[in-house]
């Protein structure tokens, strides 16, 4: 199989190929969404911070106890550090994560009356919140379009030859230019779901990939359908 997408590709051809890939991924993953559980913007902000260096599944398991004890920014800002560390403990790096949550919650109380601001420029001023976390919150809690460049998104964007950039902010801007703004949040979900299930970092399941014909990186993993099918995960792990 010779995939489309080469150095001779025109900007218009790149846009068309990128949008075709996204359409096929949307059909492949109709249930694609944020895999972190949350009930409100504050919860999403907190669980996104906690998701660093661990799995969404573990964060979802720890979430009920954390928010039962500290349901909002005011309560978490006043949390007993040792108790919060205990709740965060199963997620790893519990001291650093607890420190981040305490500072983040205090900043929300001091600057925004305990509410999560719905603007990127405000969110990224909060302790421990970068553009990736901010875009997760904006897109999923406020319906403000945003591109979430995590490790999966960046890897796939480069494999698809949508960009050669490695800096997450540059990837965000380069990929964003290929799609209507209204598509950004779901585009993020589509790539992240595909990266977790099929297009793995070390051994992508190329022979079982629904967008293989448009992927210049086809062949980085097994191309035999039966062999590739063994690598497909039915749900995300990271």
Q: Which of 200, 174, 196 is nearest to 18 (CA)?
A: 174
90 contacts: CB under 8 Å, gap ≥ 6: 58, 61, 62
> Distance (Å, rounded) from C-alpha 115 to C-alpha 200?
37
Is 150 annotated as catalytic? Answer: yes
SS3 235: coil
**Given the structure tokens 């992240």, which residue do they identify?**
192
The total of other beta-carbon atoms located within 10 Å of residue 2's CB is 8
**Which is the catalytic residue, given 150, 170, 224, 230?**
150
Q: What is the DSSP string of 194-206?
A: HHHHTS-SSS--G
**Which is the catalytic residue, given 56, 97, 132, 183?**
132
Percentages (nearest 5) of helix, strand, coil residues in the chain? 60, 0, 40
**Given the structure tokens 């190929």, which residue do they identify?**
17
Residues labelled catalytic: 132, 150
């Amino acid at each position: 199989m010779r995939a489309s997408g080469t150095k001779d590709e025109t900007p218009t051809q790149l846009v068309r190929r990128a949008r075709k890939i996204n359409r096929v991924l949307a059909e492949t993953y109709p249930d694609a969404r944020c895999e972190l559980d949350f009930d409100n913007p504050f919860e999403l902000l907190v669980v996104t911070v906690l998701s660093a260096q661990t799995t969404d599944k573990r964060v979802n398991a720890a979430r009920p106890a954390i928010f039962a004890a500290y349901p909002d920014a005011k309560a978490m800002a006043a949390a007993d550090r040792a108790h919060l560390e205990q709740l965060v403990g199963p997620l790893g790096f519990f001291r650093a994560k607890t420190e981040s949550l305490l500072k983040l919650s205090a900043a929300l109380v001091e600057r925004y009356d305990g509410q999560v601001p719905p603007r990127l420029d405000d969110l990224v001023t909060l302790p421990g919140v970068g553009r990736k976390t901010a875009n997760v919150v904006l897109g999923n809690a406020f319906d403000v379009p945003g591109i979430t460049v995590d490790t999966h998104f960046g890897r796939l964007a480069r494999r698809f030859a949508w960009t050669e950039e490695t800096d997450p902010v540059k990837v965000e801007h380069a990929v964003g230019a290929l799609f209507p703004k209204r598509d950004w949040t779901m585009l993020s979900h589509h790539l992240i779901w595909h990266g977790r299930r099929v297009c793995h970092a070390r051994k992508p399941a190329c022979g079982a990939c629904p967008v293989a014909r448009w992927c210049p990186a086809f062949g980085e993993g097994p191309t035999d359908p039966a062999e590739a099918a063994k690598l497909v995960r039915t749900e995300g792990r990271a």
